[in-house]
Chains A and B, each alone.
Chain A
Amino acid sequence: MVQRGDLAAFELVYERHKRAAYSLAYRIVGSRAVAEDVVQEVFLSVWRSKERYDARRASVRTWLLRIVRWRAIDALRAGSHARNEVHGDGVAESVESREAGPDEAVVRGDEAAAVRTAVKWLPTDQRQVVELAYFRGFSQSEIAEIVDAPLGTVKGRMRLALDKLRTSLDDTVAEREAEEVTE
């Protein structure tokens, strides 16, 4: 509908995903003004059908957030300021104190909560390389310089971090399925 130029559908998509998109953009660029630019650019790009959604590959939210990440990293690289800084309180920051709205309820699925918890429990050196790569846009060779570690070590930390996060996610899914069976 959005790609056919339905403004109401576009507004609905924005309302549904605005918080997740803006939160991610801000998480990466660390500036509300730049985050606004990134989100506006992403949604307008979607509106103008430059970004083609393929339902076979990902949910709308995942698809949008991937684009937000790309654009935010681009903005971060272009600005080059504060790229080494950590904005906000990190991916593992708890959001339990906030009341969940309809939009957030979607964001805060079991998997996302599990990932947040799992990220918290990652060893610092593994969490650091994930942060630098995924939320700062550094390459593995750049990260090796930043953390002053051999490239092979950095690669290993990334793999270990993702393996642990994946295991946590799998466990969560398995637990949920078990609960559903017992219910």
Chain B
Amino acid sequence: MNTAPTLSAELFVIPVDHGHLVYAPLRQAAFLTNAAGVNRIADLQAGTHCPGSEEADALVEFLRRLEIVDSGEETQPLTSFKGVPKPTSVTLFLTTACNLRCTYCYASAGDTPLRSMSMEVARRGIDFVIANAVELGEPAIELAYHGGGEPSVNWKTLTASLAYARDRAAVAGLRVHAAMACNGVLPDYKIDWIIGNLDGVSLSFDGLPEVHDAHRVDIAGRGSSDNVIHTIRRFDEADFAYGLRLTVTREHIPHMEASVRFVCENFRPRNIQVEPAYQLGRWRDAPSAETAGFIAGFRAAQAAAREHGREIAFSAARVGSLSNHFCGITQDSFCLTSDGEVSACYETFIAENEWAKTFFYGAYDAATDGYQFDIDKLDHLRGQSVDQREFCRGCFAKWTCGGDCYHKSLSVNGAGEFQGSDRCHIIRELTKDQILARIAKSGGLFWHEERVGNEKSAGKEMLL
């Protein structure tokens, strides 16, 4: 029995030069067509499709093969959290101190009140996630060091906490995945320890030494590229897994391509992430780098990377990874500040931060020897996933961007309803590039890929 063909995918039509990119994100399918093609598909949607002609039948057949027609309901990549959180990952904000004074530091590291995590705070957090992992039957816990300062400055707690975690996890039959964000200014003995003990490191390195040294300076104002390059070379020699994060200020946008080329020609990072400098912290009043120039620079840098068989990444443009979350703030991310408060956000690391009241959702309670959580706050954070954002409903990038960084949107829009940002434009343009690149890579006519589950960890771009 023949039935009328039915659209079975959420379809977006994205204008490109002299044509239209038809994109079904949840089917991981896309192709380029003309206006007539779009209108025929719109006919299918409206139920006004006229079958019978060779062209109409061919179009339906083409769409069917891309799972856009007659392929049943799509599965949205929705993960949601309820009740008391039971995280199996902990991120420790070890210190607000830093051995650098980067001009664009979002955390104003070194200028904020000095805080340093004690082993006691770290121990409680580690014990908590180990207990959760045992209860949930997880095979491993994740331990990350991040935020607010340079984690390696609090060397004592860094090394002791990882040793403690490994000891306790071994008793519980768990593995420990440990990673750190780091500025790369490290003495050799710390490099040796990192290579021997961590599973990965995200290093901040801006590419060309002159570009790096313009912003990433020590307390005396001296550039740090020599130190960081030494660290990277040591990592390469040891075949250690690390990623590089390049932060681009407005005046350095013209150097993006050369910086990425420099990285590709000299180092072997597992991934290269390029982000515009955030107008936060010391860079609050600086000119925005979230411009059309950044997009053009990113494209040039991407082309340079591909010449070396590499890809560069932008945190919120990630075709191939479907999620309703950008990062962990909607997924009960469990980060501990130096003082022991529970934060959901990497960028909110002390109580003095502007949005601490939004992102701090719990603290250790000595009376119960456990963590007490503010479930209302947590539910508010959980409600920031992209499927619950009205503004994002019609955006083709929503299932890959996941709603972008909530902290940044708060900085732009305030606490009201999300109203978009300059980053949205960057995300859409770079997402479009990725779709087109996938079409090209798939032979040039269409892209269609089997969906391989949701990317639970999408958004943890800072840590490998």
Partners in one complex: no
Residues of chain A whose beta carbon lies under 8 Å from any beta carbon of chain B: none
Residues of chain B whose beta carbon lies under 8 Å from any beta carbon of chain A: none
